[in-house]
Structure 1
């Protein structure tokens, strides 16, 4: 990837997109094109087509998506499937129409079956039923993978897909109900510390296992995958695959996670487990051997990453007070 390449980064204000933008800038990529949602609605097919036809980027990074935790996925399934399908279809098709031969699509580990063999290998895609709590979102992300795969097959373009495990870090959403588990717990433990609450309630049994990757590691992985030659990428994704897992290859129980967050925040009380609430998928651990064989490794440990994320939250907590 040439430093002068024109790169359109969709979703630059989101957690992953903002991390990618920072790292592209730090690496010397000066020709990065961005648009806010107010400037370009990615669910508007005609607007997306006009924009990409005008800009004609060398690369498109599709980091824009509607995302949320279990509660949000349960409450707004139509929004999750519709918006994500429209964003993917519009951007991928318009990129092809604009003669953009290089694209990176960001998916999610929820594409894999609920009871996939652990750790989950790329080959597990479409081999079983999905976790019901986020099925609409997962189906949309699977469609994104297949869009890239289909355009590669039919048109000979080089559209790549990366599937991150659970992400956290700077610019996350700390809404108590609509966020993912790490920001929700950071917010809960922080509020409990301020209020001297004797207990913090956490959903589920605490036995579910999850893998977590800091967003800066994810951004580095994206840039690494973009920098691979087409032959290198295909060496790990063909003939039957079209995507690569991105993760740490290590997981923890939600109980261990909650205890670590409590320690990082400095909360002294007890944790109570609401077993009437869902655990979600029993375990989600990624097999990341393919990406590691291509020269990438994560660098940020969980406790270190949680600590820097909490510090970011403290510096920006004013924007979350209304939630």
Structure 2
């Protein structure tokens, strides 16, 4: 099942928007944090994990989802949030810690929550598995449409919570898809040093469900595999495990010196940057013209600039509201 022309342009638009958003955030993050670095200083407080290079995973999967479907993501969530349709203005404001943010500035970039499109993420490794499986269970019990998708990194598959949730999803035959973003690095630890099996997709056999590994960070191959998995879930046929090879073009976090990477690895990854590759394919296949793609890129840049301006100009939360909505009455 190949994507239509409209779907291809949607995928390209959201990949470009995500990359532009990350590049803009990267340029702002160190404001006020030099010459002496303090994570709490500057307009963007706290850690920052960027998703440059991993955009194909988000668009290839989310092209098959709608607002009723549930997505949980990780500490590196911006590409998935953008592809799922999270409000960009409010997400930017949340990252800046502003009153107009999705959670009033309380959550920051690792705890993005948008109930309007059923998106949430967490900084805790594999934490999104339980909520996503629970959402799938609720839909099955209530006879409601919709699937749940949990995105997580390859290192999270070694967490006990992952295995427990996968077992329940398979046992209860839930409308659930687990998507592993395999960027080969768990912070600074290579996959082969932490994981006993070469392909995490092979773990699906332990739960009696389909497992598929998609190589090459290719948005088209991801789209096709995700289409099969989502269709299977919607048809009541149970969960699927997808393991997708992708590339982390940035460090684990802003400020990561990346001394653990082998010499030349980053250059090789940038040579495989998925955005220029997709643009070239769209042109070669006569899906779009240079002018159309230039227009998409300009519109994406303008949309990101507007969101950043909204965030910068928004009010800071009132100090007396610090504990509001944090604890139940």
> Is this a same-fold pair by TM over 0.5?
no
TM-score norm. by structure 2 comes to: 0.35
TM-score norm. by structure 1 comes to: 0.36
